[in-house]
Amino acid sequence: MLKQITNNKISIPIFTQSKKVELIKNYLINPIRMEPETKTQSREHVKKNSIKAFFLADNVYWIENGFLVTAKINENKIDETTKKKVDTHSLDKVELDKITFIVDKLTEGNKNDSGNSGK
More confident residue, 58 or 2: 58
The reply to whether 34 falls in a domain is: no
The reply to whether 99 falls in a domain is: yes
Say how far apart CA 30 and CA 98 lie, in whole Å. 42
Say how far apart CA 70 and CA 98 lie, in whole Å. 13
For a pLDDT cut of 90, what percent of the chain falls above it? 21
More confident residue, 53 or 36: 53
Say how far apart CA 6 and CA 107 lie, in whole Å. 55
The reply to whether 73 falls in a domain is: yes
Per-residue pLDDT at 106: 87
Task: Tell me the average pLDDT across 67-94.
Answer: 90
| pTM for this predicted structure | 0.56
118: pLDDT strictly greater than 50: no
Say how far apart CA 103 and CA 97 lie, in whole Å. 10
The reply to whether 20 falls in a domain is: no
Task: Specify the DSSP element, H or E, that contains 6.
Answer: none
More confident residue, 16 or 82: 82
The reply to whether 96 falls in a domain is: yes
Write out the residue range of the structural domain in which residue 73 sits.
47-107
The reply to whether 65 falls in a domain is: yes
The reply to whether 19 falls in a domain is: no
Task: Tell me the average pLDDT across 89-107.
Answer: 89
DSSP calls for 83-95: EEE--GGG--HHH
Q: What is the dihedral of CA 51, 72, 95, 61, to 10 degrees?
A: 0
The reply to whether 1 falls in a domain is: no
82: pLDDT strictly greater than 90: yes
Q: What is the pLDDT of residues 13-44, one digit of tens each?
A: 778 888 888 888 777 776 666 677 788 999 88
Per-residue pLDDT at 51: 83
Domain count of the chain? Answer: 1
